[in-house]
């Protein structure tokens, strides 16, 4: 008798999500986290939240949603929170795609995108990055088909750090048919300094088909608690709310996020440290290795191609963990000044001039 596999057979060919590695005693520059401890008030808020964890969290996430909406200057019914912005991207795929529809994005980009597409039974349409490692928006607009339901624009792009500027994004959005959702994934928005890389919500938030994704995992330092959110038009947000896993923004995450948002001045001060370190690290690396794309995020990309894995291994012998993408490049998260010095010393021994 013909038997069916217990699980979907197409999943066997799907790569697993590979997290940045943590090695005890080593400096981790592999997951685009910030190197600082919790923002002021966060630990106290967590302790307070812990006293009520026998109860389910507020499923509507009302207080946090209202606070985010107020900060962003949008109506609360436009905000949906969830278990990290990666979950929000997945929810959007489930909200927009039926089997056989497609999700279009630049590649290489955030490695969760192909997984999200495949697990929602959508096809991935991957448009190769430009030779400068950024989005090729002209090619992306040509790749749209009548099965395209969602387009992901990762800005700045993980892992290459590149960003799309306002003029090209304006033109692209004008070309996208209005019945396709365009997701502006702005996980690294707080690290952007180029004035031409505009805030997607402020600039495009009124467009009916634009959805902006943000996270508290990066600049706000809450990666371990998993809080992300999207801002969409109310009808889109209402549809997403139907697919969100119930209670997925847990009570500790809600409390910590509220406290973190109250510490915005300190968050900005910390981001400024990361930004100035990013510029320093890029400038030093550029002396030894040309072709590093200018980063607007809290990491830099070294397009080392077939030397990527070897470089990461060389860093590891110096107790520095970076993130290789075999055959393509290495992504290095910006850490504290001391951590960056340690990384640069390791990088110099591999990339620098012969002694």
Residues that bind ligand PMP (CB under 6 A): 32, 84-86, 110, 154, 158, 185, 187, 215, 217, 223, 228
Which is nearer to ligand PMP, 85 or 163 (by Cβ)?
Answer: 85
> Among residues 355, 334, 241, which one has the least CA distance to residue 31?
334
Among residues 147 and 241, whose Cβ is nearest to ligand PMP? Answer: 241
Minimum CB separation of residue 229 from ligand PMP in Å reads: 9
Q: What is the DSSP letter of 11?
A: G
Which token pair is 164? 């799309």
CA–CA dist 325, 329 (Å, integer): 5
Neighbours of 38 (CB within 10 A): 19
Nearer to ligand PMP, 31 or 318 (CB): 31
Closest contact distance (angstroms) between CB of 158 and ligand PMP is 4
Q: How far apart are CA 274 and CA 156, in angstroms?
A: 15
In angstroms, the CA 111 to CA 142 distance is 23
Minimum CB separation of residue 185 from ligand PMP in Å reads: 5
Give the C-alpha separation, 54 to 47, whole Å. Answer: 14
How does strand 102-107 pair with strand 299-302? unpaired
Question: Quick one: 88 or 308, whose CB is closer to ligand PMP?
Answer: 88
With CA atoms as reference, report the closest residue to 252 among 14, 31, 44, 9.
Answer: 44
Nearer to ligand PMP, 84 or 303 (CB): 84
CB of 84 to ligand PMP, least distance (A): 3
C-alpha to C-alpha distance for 195 and 20, rounded to whole angstroms = 30
Smallest distance, Å, CB 1 to ligand PMP? 43
Closest CB to ligand PMP: residue number = 84
Q: Indicate the DSSP class of residue 27.
A: E
Contact in structure between 110 and 158 (CB atoms under 8 Å): yes
Q: How far is the CB of 299 from ligand PMP (least distance, A)?
A: 9
Separation in Å, CA 121 to CA 11, 60, 152, 158: 10, 28, 16, 23
Minimum separation from the CB atom of position 9 to ligand PMP (A): 28
Nearest residue (CB) to ligand PMP, 212 versus 344 = 212
Residue 96 or residue 160: which is nearer to ligand PMP going by CB? 160
CB of 310 to ligand PMP, least distance (A): 24
Cα 187 from Cα 309, distance rounded (Å): 26
Nearer to ligand PMP, 126 or 344 (CB): 126
In angstroms, the Cα distances linking 286 to 33, 134, 327 are 23, 18, 20
């Amino acid at each position: 008798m013909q038997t069916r596999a217990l699980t979907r057979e197409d999943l066997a060919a799907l790569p697993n999500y590979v997290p940045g590695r943590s090695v005890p005693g080593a400096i981790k520059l592999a997951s685009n986290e910030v190197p600082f401890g919790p923002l002021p008030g966060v630990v106290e808020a967590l302790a307070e939240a812990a006293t009520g964890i026998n109860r389910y969290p507020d499923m509507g996430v009302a207080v946090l949603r209202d606070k985010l909406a107020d900060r962003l200057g949008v109506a609360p019914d436009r905000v949906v929170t969830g278990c990290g912005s990666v979950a929000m991207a997945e929810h959007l795929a489930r909200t927009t795609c039926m089997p056989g529809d497609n999700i279009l994005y630049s590649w290489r980009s955030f490695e969760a995108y192909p997984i999200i597409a495949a697990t929602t039974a959508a096809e991935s349409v991957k448009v190769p990055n430009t030779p400068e490692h950024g989005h090729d928006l002209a090619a992306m607009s040509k790749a749209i088909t009548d099965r395209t339901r969602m387009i992901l624009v990762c800005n700045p792009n993980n892992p290459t750090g590149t960003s799309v500027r306002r003029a090209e994004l304006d033109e692209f959005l004008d070309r996208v048919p209005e019945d396709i959702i365009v997701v502006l994934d702005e996980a690294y928005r707080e690290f952007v300094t180029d004035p031409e890389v505009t805030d997607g919500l402020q600039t495009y938030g009124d467009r009916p088909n634009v959805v902006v994704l943000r996270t508290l995992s990066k600049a706000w330092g809450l990666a371990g608690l998993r809080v992300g959110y999207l801002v969409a038009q109310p009808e889109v947000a209402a549809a997403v709310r139907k697919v969100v896993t119930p209670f997925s923004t847990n009570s500790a995450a809600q409390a910590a996020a509220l406290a973190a948002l109250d510490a915005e001045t300190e968050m900005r001060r910390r981001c400024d440290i990361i930004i100035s370190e990013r510029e320093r690290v890029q400038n030093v690396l550029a002396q030894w290795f040309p072709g590093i794309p200018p980063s607007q995020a809290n990491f830099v990309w070294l397009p080392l191609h077939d030397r990527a894995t070897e470089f990461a291994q060389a860093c590891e012998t110096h107790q520095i963990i970076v993130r290789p993408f075999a055959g393509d490049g290495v992504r290095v998260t910006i850490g504290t000044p001391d951590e960056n010095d340690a990384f640069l010393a390791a990088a110099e021994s591999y990339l620098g001039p012969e002694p």
